Copies of this chain bind each other. A is one copy, B any other.
Amino acid sequence: MVVTIIGAGMMGSALAFPAAENGHEVRLVGSPLDDDIIDACTATGRHPKFERDFPKGVKYYKVGDWRKAVEGCDFVIGGVSSFGVDWFGDEILANLNPSIPVLSVTKGLINLEDGTLISYPDYWRKNLLAKGIDRHICAVGGSCTSYELVFKDHTAVTYCGAKSADLKLIKEAMSAPYYHISLTNDVIGLESAVALKNAYALAVAMTIGLVYRNHGKDAGLHYNSQSSVFGQAAREMARFIAIQGGTQESLNVGIADLYVTIYGGRTRKVGILLGEGKSCKEALEILAGETLESLVVVRRVAKAIYRKAELGEVSLSDFPLLCHANEVIENGKDAELPWESFTYDYTE
């Protein structure tokens, strides 16, 4: 097969590995921001952020050549970041033969006025339909960092989409001994789950900072409090995914992703700083230059829930953890958690 990846960020580029190792021709196309990356790949055969060369069978294209790169391809992988969503929709999807399947790695949700949060595949579909183009876009969920995929750590992902035949075709091309692919038609559930985990990972990480604040920096890690908040995160994620119309299986993918997101990187750092008592502004200054997706997701999901509550569709008391995190971020509320609001009484 011929696989065209558009967007040479880390995640899109990492998918060149299983695809090319499976013997497919892979065409990696930079976005308008990726010219330097494509130059480097062409010169060295390696992505500047990776520690392994690309396998044989990968060809590199700058954005101006994207039409050449999709000629005769079996499917396209969209590898843009959330900042490239409109460019990808308007420039690529609107001009790509609708019979070519597309798998997008871009993660996120978009707020509508009525409190609905829609997925990028849904957003693109609506915009394309307005232009008279009928196409569904597939997407990816699950915990998959690009470094570890390139390292060949065993990785499980779920591909979601409305068209099962597209999903099966792409799975066949991409499956590798270390890359294990499940399939579902539940796009909104899966995309909601993977977005939510960023918001809730921040909330769980706040407990770490709270322990430092309440017991001193040398108090170390304490798991009773982390577990309490992890449980509450699971409860609220389940409620939100049910509202979104998603499945239990997609919730599970989000919970597994939550587990690892707490342990790594920027989301953990900002959560700890907020827990220690830093304001959101101070935390952003300390982590200067880092993209904090988790803050965006907290705000978007909270906005959706507040709007749905105004419309009488949800009760805010079902989401005390998310509302708390949003208040900490938006209004400088003290980070100490509303612990008793997490308890329940299910006795008869």
CA of A259 to CA of B228 in the docked complex: distance in angstroms?
Answer: 10
A247 to B143, Cβ gap below 8 A? no
Interface size class of A (residues with CB under 8 A): 35 or more
Could you tell me which residues of chain A, from 181 to 207, have a CB within 8 Å of some CB in chain B? 181-186, 207
A228-241 interface bits toward B, Cβ cutoff 8 Å, 1 = contact, 0 = none:
10111011001000
Q: A259 to B226, Cβ gap below 8 A? A: yes
A222 proximal to B (CB < 8 A): yes
Contacts of A210 in B (CB 8 A): 154
Chain B nearest CB: distance from A140 CB in Å? Answer: 13
Binary per-residue interface labels of chain A (207-227) against chain B in the complex, 1 for a CB within 8 Å, 0 otherwise: 100110001000101111111
Is there contact, CB below 8 Å, between B143 and A228? yes
- A249 touching B235 in the complex, CB below 8 Å, given contacts A260-B223, A339-B154: yes
User: What is the oligomeric copy number?
Assistant: 2
Query: Chain B residues near A290 (CB, 8 Å)?
Result: none
CA distance A64 to B311 in the complex (A): 64
A90 within 8 A of B: no
Residue in A149, A151, A164, A346 whose Cβ sees the most chain B Cβ within 10 Å: A346
Q: Say yes or no: B346 contacts A184, CB within 8 Å.
A: yes
Nearest to A185 among chain B residues (CB) is B347
Q: Contact at A256–B238, with CB atoms within 8 Å?
A: no
* A51 interfacial contact with B, CB 8 Å: no
B259-A230 in contact (CB<8A): yes
Q: Is the CB of B223 within 8 A of A264?
A: yes
* A253 lies within 8 A of chain B by Cβ: yes
Q: Is A263 in contact with B223, judged by CB distance below 8 angstroms?
A: yes
A156 at the interface (CB under 8 A from B): yes
Q: Report if A102 contacts B (CB, 8 A).
A: no
Q: Which residues of B contact A347 (CB under 8 A)?
A: 164, 167-168, 183-185
Q: With the chains together, A247 CA to B347 CA distance in Å?
A: 12
* Neighbouring B residues of A317 by C-beta, 8 Å: none
In chain A, residues 238-258, which have Cβ atoms closer than 8 Å to a Cβ of chain B? 238, 247-249, 252-253, 255-257
The answer to whether A231 touches B256, judged by C-beta atoms less than 8 angstroms apart, is: yes
Check if A313 is an interface residue, CB within 8 A of chain B.
Answer: no
Asked whether, in the complex, the Cβ of A149 is within 8 Å of the Cβ of B224, the reply is yes
